[in-house]
Chains A and B, each alone.
Chain A
C-alpha cells in the first residue's frame, strides 16, 4: 500500500501533498514537513476541485469558493507552524487522481503524499475509493498513503 523512498539511496527534493479538505490534511502536511525538512525539499500542496461534465472545465468554480481556497490556506498555515514553506496549487479537473498525478509528474516530484480516510462500504468492507488506487497505479514517483486511524466505531 505504501511506497516510501529509501532516504539513503534517494534524497527527497520535491514533495507533492494531495489535500482534500478532510480532517487528515493537517496530519499528512506535518508528516510531509518532517520528511522534507532534512533535505530542505520543496513542498507543493495540491487541491483539486472536481468539475462535473455539465460545466466547462474552466468554469469559475474554485476561484470563487472560499472553501476550496481555505483548504490550501490551512495547509500553508500548518506548514508555517512546522517552520516550512509550502507552495499551494488549486486545480479544476474532471478527475482528481489524474490531475494529482499529472501535476506531480509535471513538477518532477519524487514523493507524493496522499491521505486516505478510513471508510467502509455498505456491508462492512473497507472502501479505498477511486483516487488512491489511480495514484498508486499511475504516479511516476514514490507514493506515500497515510490512512487515517480507525475511530472507535469504525474499528473492526
Chain B
C-alpha cells in the first residue's frame, strides 16, 4: 500500500486510480539520476524558535537568495558607481584641504598658487592609475585587483604584500571615514562629541546590515547620498567657475586660518609633500578592479567603464574644488573649524544660502558611505584569499543574501574596535591610511608591465609604457608618503604588513599540511574494514535509554561491555544482580570510584583496555556509546545529559575512539513493555555512569 491511500473511483470500475505521495517534493527536486537539489524549505529551521529567528533575520536582512538569483544581484553601472566610488569620490571633500595644509607653510613664498598645479598633477596620476586599473579589469575579470596581478606576474609573496596592505587600508577607510563624518557633524552640532562612539556604532551597523542584505539592496540604499553629493558638488563647481569666468568672485574673509610654523622657502620637498597629501584622493580607485564579478555582464567592460566615469568625476570634483578654492582664496582653518569644502560652498553661494547646510549634510553622508566601498572590496578580497588558502575558508562562503557575510562582519568588528580603542579620534590612524594603497598601485602596475611584456598583444608597447610610467609615479608617491608620515605612524604599516603576510602564509601552510594528511591517492580503492571493533557503554543503571544504547552497541560489534561506575558498594552489587537478570549476554564491569569521580575512571578504564590489547594486533576501534535522553523543551536540557556532555568532551580527539550518541526519545515506540516497566532503579535516565 502507498501511504495507506485507498484507490479513487473513476468513471468506470476499472478506471480507479491511486494518488502517490511525493514526500520529497516540499524539500527536494530530482534533477538527474541519484541527484537532487534542496529547496528553500529544506533549510528551514525545524523548531518554532528557529523559525521565529529566521523570520526576524528575513525582516532585517531579507529573504535568503538562491544561487541562481546571483545574476539578479549583479550591479548595473549606475548602482556600481555609487557603491564602489563613494570612497574615491568622498576624498574630493578633503583632498584639497590636505594640499593647502602643506602649502600654507610657505604661503609667504607664494606656495598656495601651486595648489592648482599640484591638484592637476594628482589628476594626471589618477588618470594613469585609472587607465592601468581599466586594463586590470579587462585582463583579470575574476577580480582581485592588485593581489591577483602581483600574484600572477610578480610572485606569490608580493601578491600577499599587496593583499595585506589593501586589507589594512580597507579597515582604516572604515574607521577614518566614519570618524571624519562624525567630525563634520560635530562642526555643526558640538554636543555630538559625547556620543561619537555610539554614532560610529550605529553608522557602521547600518552599513553592515545594508551590505548583509546583498549587493543590489545596498546599491539601492547607498546610491542616493552618493549622487546627492556628486550633484551638489558639481553644481557648486559650475557656479564657482561661472563666477570666475564672469569676474564676479568676491574672496571671503577668514578669521581662524590654520597657521603652522611658516617658512619662507618653497622647496621641492614641500611640493612633493603636498602632492603626497593630496594623493589620498586616489584611495578607493582600486576597489572596482577588486569587484569585477559584481557587475552585470559583460563584467569587464562594465567595470572598466564605471572606473572611467568614477575617475572623471573624481578628477573634475577634486581639481574643480581646488580651482574654486584658490579663486576665492579659501584657506584651511584651525582644527575644529569648518572644512575647506564647506568654506567653498559658503563663498560660492553665500553663508545664508540653503545650499550650505544641504551640502554639509551631503558631505557628511558621503563620508559615512566611503566606508561602504570597503565593505564591498574587503570581503571580496578576503574571499579570493580564502579560496587560495591564505585566509580561513569561512571568508569565501556566501551568506543567505549571497554576500560574503564573514568578511563584512569581521571588517565591521575590527573597524569599530579600532574606533572604540582610539576613543573615536582617528587622527592617529590617518598616517597609516593611504600608505597601503600606494604599495598596491605600485605592485599592480609593475605586475601589469610584466603582463604586457609576456602577452605581447596588440599595442603592448604603449600599454606597458603607461603602466611603467604609473608605477614610477606611484612608487615616488609611496616613498614620499612613507618618509613624510613614517614617524607619525606609517611605521605601523611596515610592522603590520609583514605580520599579516606571515599570518596568511601560516594559514596556507596549515591548510596544505592538513590536506596532505587527508589526501587519498588516486589509485586507492577502499576495501573491507579490517580493524577490529569493540563497544563500551557507560551505564548509570538500567533504564530504557541504557537498553537502547546497549542494543546500538550490539549492532556495531559482538564485543560489547557495559561499565558502571559507582561509589556505593551495595548499590553496585544490586546493579550486578539486576544486570545479569535483565541484560544477559552483555558483560558488566563495575568500577568503584571512592573519590566519586566519573570521567577519570572511565578514561583510565579505556586506557587499560588499550594496554591489554595484544601488541601484535592492530589497535581496535573503540566505540563509546553514550545513552542520552532527548529533552523536549529547552529548560529540560539543563536537567539532563550533563554527564554525557562532560564525557563527550573528555573523549574528543582520543585516538582510535569513536563517540556514539544513542538518543532515547519519550515518543520512541516502546519495545520495552512489559519487561522494563518499573524494573529499573530510580536513576536519572540520562546520567551515564554517575558516581553519586
Most chain B CB neighbours (cut-off 10 Å) among A57, A58, A68: A58
A4 within 8 A of B: no
Q: Which residue of A lies closest to B25 (CB)?
A: A88
B531 within 8 A of A: no
Q: Assuming the A-B contacts A66-B33, A73-B29, A99-B15, are A91 and B10 also in contact, with contact meaning beta carbons closer than 8 angstroms in the complex?
A: no
Contact with B along A95-133 (1 / 0, CB 8 A): 100110111001000000000000000000000000000
Contact of B21 among A48, A63, A98, A102 (CB under 8 A): A63
A residues 59-110 touching B (CB-CB < 8 Å): 60, 62-63, 66, 68-70, 72-73, 76-77, 88-95, 98-99, 101-103, 106
Contact of A58 among B14, B18, B24, B32 (CB under 8 A): B18
Contact of B17 among A66, A72, A88, A92 (CB under 8 A): A92
In the complex, the answer to whether B10 meets A99 with C-beta atoms within 8 Å is yes
Report chain A residues within 8 Å CB of B1.
58, 60
Q: Which residue of A lies closest to B68 (CB)?
A: A81
Q: Assuming the A-B contacts A58-B2, A58-B7, A98-B10, are A73 and B18 also in contact, with contact meaning beta carbons closer than 8 angstroms in the complex?
A: no
Report chain A residues within 8 Å CB of B31.
70, 73, 77
A138 within 8 A of B: yes
Q: List 13 A-B contacts (CB under 8 A).
A: A57-B7, A58-B5, A60-B1, A60-B2, A66-B34, A90-B20, A91-B17, A92-B2, A95-B14, A98-B10, A98-B17, A102-B17, A106-B8
Complexed CA–CA distance, A14 and B146 (Å)? 58
In the complex, the answer to whether B2 meets A89 with C-beta atoms within 8 Å is no
Report chain A residues within 8 Å CB of B19.
89-91
In the complex, the answer to whether B30 meets A91 with C-beta atoms within 8 Å is no
In the complex, the answer to whether A73 meets B21 with C-beta atoms within 8 Å is no
Contact of B20 among A62, A73, A102 (CB under 8 A): A62
Determine how close the nearest CB of chain B comes to the CB of A153; give it in whole angstroms: 28
Complexed CA–CA distance, A11 and B31 (Å)? 34
Report chain B residues within 8 Å CB of A101.
11
In the complex, the answer to whether B15 meets A94 with C-beta atoms within 8 Å is yes
Complexed CA–CA distance, A95 and B30 (Å)? 26
Contact with B along A131-143 (1 / 0, CB 8 A): 0000000100000
Report chain B residues within 8 Å CB of A76.
25, 29
Contact with A along B24-44 (1 / 0, CB 8 A): 110001111110000000000
Report chain A residues within 8 Å CB of B11.
98, 101-102, 138
B632 within 8 A of A: no
In the complex, the answer to whether B30 meets A66 with C-beta atoms within 8 Å is yes
In the complex, the answer to whether B25 meets A91 with C-beta atoms within 8 Å is no
Instruction: Name the interface size band of chain B.
Output: 20 to 34
In the complex, the answer to whether A92 meets B12 with C-beta atoms within 8 Å is no
B22 within 8 A of A: yes
In the complex, the answer to whether A93 meets B17 with C-beta atoms within 8 Å is yes
In the complex, the answer to whether A92 meets B18 with C-beta atoms within 8 Å is yes
B16 within 8 A of A: yes
A residues 29-63 touching B (CB-CB < 8 Å): 48-49, 57-58, 60, 62-63
Determine how close the nearest CB of chain A comes to the CB of B299; give it in whole angstroms: 24
Q: For the complex of A and B, list the 9 residue pairs with the smallest distance between their C-beta atoms, beginning with the closest.
A: A93-B17, A70-B30, A98-B15, A90-B20, A73-B29, A99-B17, A62-B20, A92-B18, A102-B10
Q: Assuming the A-B contacts A58-B2, A99-B15, are A69 and B24 also in contact, with contact meaning beta carbons closer than 8 angstroms in the complex?
A: yes
Determine how close the nearest CB of chain B comes to the CB of A92; give it in whole angstroms: 4
Complexed CA–CA distance, A70 and B28 (Å)? 10
In the complex, the answer to whether B15 meets A93 with C-beta atoms within 8 Å is yes
Report chain B residues within 8 Å CB of A106.
8
Report chain B residues within 8 Å CB of A68.
20
Complexed CA–CA distance, A49 and B1 (Å)? 15
Q: Assuming the A-B contacts A70-B30, A73-B31, are A63 and B20 also in contact, with contact meaning beta carbons closer than 8 angstroms in the complex?
A: yes
Q: Assuming the A-B contacts A60-B2, A63-B20, are A69 and B15 also in contact, with contact meaning beta carbons closer than 8 angstroms in the complex?
A: no
Complexed CA–CA distance, A63 and B3 (Å)? 10
Q: Which residue of B lies closest to A103 (CB)?
A: B17
Complexed CA–CA distance, A127 and B24 (Å)? 36
In the complex, the answer to whether A102 meets B8 with C-beta atoms within 8 Å is yes
Most chain A CB neighbours (cut-off 10 Å) among B5, B8, B32, B34: B8
Q: Which residue of B lies closest to A90 (CB)?
A: B20
Contact of A57 among B12, B18, B32 (CB under 8 A): B18
Complexed CA–CA distance, A88 and B14 (Å)? 24
Complexed CA–CA distance, A93 and B29 (Å)? 24
In the complex, the answer to whether A48 meets B17 with C-beta atoms within 8 Å is yes
Report chain B residues within 8 Å CB of A77.
29, 31
Complexed CA–CA distance, A24 and B473 (Å)? 64
Determine how close the nearest CB of chain B comes to the CB of A144; give it in whole angstroms: 21
Report chain B residues within 8 Å CB of A66.
30, 33-34
Determine how close the nearest CB of chain A comes to the CB of B167; give it in whole angstroms: 40
Report chain A residues within 8 Å CB of B12.
98
Q: Which residue of B lies closest to A101 (CB)?
A: B11
Contact of A94 among B14, B20, B30, B34 (CB under 8 A): B14
In the complex, the answer to whether B25 meets A93 with C-beta atoms within 8 Å is no
Report chain B residues within 8 Å CB of A57.
7, 16-18
Complexed CA–CA distance, A48 and B22 (Å)? 13
Report chain A residues within 8 Å CB of B7.
57-58
Complexed CA–CA distance, A70 and B32 (Å)? 7
Determine how close the nearest CB of chain B comes to the CB of A37; give it in whole angstroms: 20
Determine how close the nearest CB of chain A comes to the CB of B573; give it in whole angstroms: 53
Complexed CA–CA distance, A132 and B278 (Å)? 79
Given pairs A58-B5, A72-B25, A98-B15, 4 additional interface contacts (CB within 8 A): A48-B17, A73-B31, A91-B18, A94-B15
Report chain A residues within 8 Å CB of B15.
93-95, 98-99, 102
Report chain B residues within 8 Å CB of A69.
22, 24-25, 30
Report chain A residues within 8 Å CB of B16.
57, 93-94
Report chain B residues within 8 Å CB of A94.
14-16
Report chain B residues within 8 Å CB of A90.
19-20, 22
Complexed CA–CA distance, A66 and B18 (Å)? 18
Contact of A63 among B2, B8, B17, B33 (CB under 8 A): B2
Q: Which residue of A lies closest to B29 (CB)?
A: A73
Report chain A residues within 8 Å CB of B5.
58
Determine how close the nearest CB of chain B comes to the CB of A51; give it in whole angstroms: 8
